[in-house]
Amino acid sequence: MAVRAPRPVVLTVVVALLATAAALATVVALRSERDTSGDEIATEPNATSAAPPAATCGGSPCGVLTSLPVGSATVELLADEHGENSRLRILGTGSETVLETALSEMGVRVTQRSLVCQDGPTAACLVRGGRAGGVIGEVFADTDGKWEPAERPYVSNAGFVDLLHVAADRSPEIGIAHHPDCEGSADDCTSAVVVVEVFGLDGVSLGCTPWYGSLTQLPGWPDVSLTDDDLRRC
């Protein structure tokens, strides 16, 4: 059952801005490096599951952690043996693209459970991993047949970043849980209330849920299911 607090949910925005400032600066710097160094690698299709020779992860050959089908493409999460350096490989019809993730620069380690993908008019994949203080996710979207990373990371101090289907356009959205009345790490805020803010793939906030007593009270948990009616102004 939703637990509502008397203070405005707008506090969520303040907490989110504080939590993401450093990570966003890292992503902006990394995006600038990509623009000048050409980190997006297009190669010939490869019938095997081994990473292409051009894809190295932290100076070591990449291995395939996991893969998911997305429409007519297959998306693979590549990483070194420790999961500390990662890339995304998209295998399409007659094409292959490798994109570097910004998570490596933020000290986020990926695992076989780090990749989430959803199809739609605009398909998207989320690469997420834990870091001290919470969970950080990076979104990659297929825009007009070209996969590109989002310009910002998504940071949760409540341990939840996921792709959702909320709006009627059938493209996925990003859901991020926050502890709006607690500015500490996830460990510091285990008893605090939780609110989920939903963003479109363009990074625009679509609204926030009411406050809940815990993540387990979110509708459909652990497969969180929200609709437009569940959202209100943050």
Q: Which range is least confidently modeled, 44-53, 77-86, 214-223?
A: 44-53
Strand locations in 132-181 (E): 134-143, 146-149, 154-156, 161-164, 173-178
The phi, psi pair for 40, rounded to 5°, reads -80, 125
Supply the pLDDT for residue 55: 77
Instruction: State how far Cα 110 lies from the chain centre.
Output: 12
Question: Cα separation of 9 and 3, whole Å?
Answer: 12
| pLDDT classification of 96: cutoffs 50, 70, 90 | very high
User: Stretch 185-195: mean pLDDT, rounded?
Assistant: 81
| pLDDT classification of 80: cutoffs 50, 70, 90 | very high
pTM for the model stands at 0.77
Taking alpha carbons only, the member of 39, 20, 14, 59 closest to residue 203 is 20
Supply the pLDDT for residue 51: 53
Beta bridge partners of 117: 125
Please state, as a whole number, how many other Cβ atoms lie within 10 Å of the Cβ of residue 3. 12
Q: pLDDT by residue (tens digit) across 119-159?
A: 999 999 999 999 877 899 999 999 888 999 998 999 999 99
Are the C-beta atoms of residues 131 and 150 closer than 8 Å to each other?
A: no
| pLDDT classification of 16: cutoffs 50, 70, 90 | very low
Are the C-beta atoms of residues 160 and 213 closer than 8 Å to each other?
A: no
Q: pLDDT by residue (tens digit) across 102-124?
A: 998 999 999 999 999 999 999 99
Going from N- to C-terminal start, the domains of the chain cover 11-38+107-230
Supply the pLDDT for residue 220: 95
Supply the pLDDT for residue 190: 76
